[in-house]
Amino acid sequence: MSKILVIAEHGGGTVRKATLTTLQMARDLAAKTGASIDIAVLGHQVGGIAAQLTGYGAGAVHVADHADLGYALAPTWGKVIADIAKACGASVVAMSASTTGKDVLPRTAARLGAGMASDVVGVVATSKGPAFRRPMWAGALLSDVVIHTPNWCVTARVSAFDAAAPTGGSSPIVAFAADPALASARTRFVSFDATASDRPSLDEATIVVAGGRGLKSAEGFRQVMEPLADAFGAGIGASRAAVDDGYAPNDYQIGQTGKVVAPQLYVAVAISGAIQHLAGMKNSKIIVAINTRDDEPIHKIADFSLKADAFTAVPELAAKLQARK
């Protein structure tokens, strides 16, 4: 193994936390293999993003700037990432296990003929070389995956690694002449309708408050959760049951089939804690559970539990938090 290529994710002119956690996973792998690390930035007018990444100790920051790369489509990004990996001699390509990474990197793996480890939560040394630890069965089991192909592709779970810290210095920025081959792609970007919110996204939030089916309705969800989120300055999440019942939009969903988060503080309101939900938040640093029953699964992993009616206790909590500001 000679080089690891980390694919940057960005939005709104800033580097996303997912990039830095993937970079930390790459550093863990490099420490076990002696490989060097490069970073690749894809998109349109992304010079500012590349400049933000020059202080992280990479051998080079490769920039593929092209109008057809403005949105992360798997056919175009997958091809260009593979082209960069071949050009810079990278045998490992790493990206976060975000929606984008899960979509894009399998295309890259196919183009490179690379074996792939997905949703990695750790790098371990084995007698057969480095292995990638990943959860199975909603986190009930952990498996160590050894890849035997010459090239590897790896996606890292954002919540499993700390964000890499800057190392100082200044990596060179290298322009890459991208050829997205959009004309041969079967996918076209039309538009992206994002949920507008002043609150932090679940991927970036240090505090997350999440509501469940016990809030009884979409109106009940809003009345209870929004003041609490405002008081904490938190991101809002929801259980799958709450999303399925229409209490919250799909991008709020936390769990095995939703987003995986590990904030400093996670407040679960009226959530029973099915194993599928726990898989998405059990690595949170501090977990608070508020429920009318104290025998639900969520209480087994909670650091603090409050047996109370959410419609009474949460507004009181939100008011006390606001009063302290």
pLDDT tens by residue, 64-123: 999 989 999 999 999 999 999 999 999 999 999 998 999 999 999 999 999 999 999 999
Q: How confident is the model at residue 137 (pLDDT cuts 50, 70, 90)?
A: confident
| pLDDT attached to residue 204 | 85
Report residue 54: phi and psi, to 5°: -75, -15
pTM for the whole structure: 0.86
H-type helices in 256-325, by residue range? 275-278, 298-301, 310-324
Question: What would the pLDDT profile of 194-215 be if each residue is shown by its tens digit?
Answer: 767 788 889 889 999 999 999 9
- Tell me whether domains 3-184 and 207-324 share a fold: yes
Q: Domain ranges for the chain, please list them.
A: 3-184, 207-324
**Which class in CATH covers the domain with range 207-324?**
alpha beta
In CATH terms, the fold of domain 3-184 is Rossmann fold (3.40.50)
Question: How many Cα atoms sit within 13 Å of 215 on the Cβ side?
Answer: 30
User: Percent of the chain at pLDDT above 70?
Assistant: 98
Residue 185: the pLDDT is 63
Residues 157-171: what's their mean pLDDT?
91
- Please give the pLDDT value at position 183: 52
Crossing angle for the helix pair 218-232 and 310-324, nearest 10 degrees? 20
Provide the strand spans (E) within the chain: 3-7, 10-11, 14-15, 36-43, 61-65, 92-96, 115-120, 122-126, 129-136, 141-145, 152-156, 173-175, 207-211, 235-238, 265-269, 286-291, 304-307
For 13, 62, 73, 251, the CA distances from 191, given in Å and listed in that order, are: 18, 27, 12, 17
Distance CA 218, CA 223 (A): 9
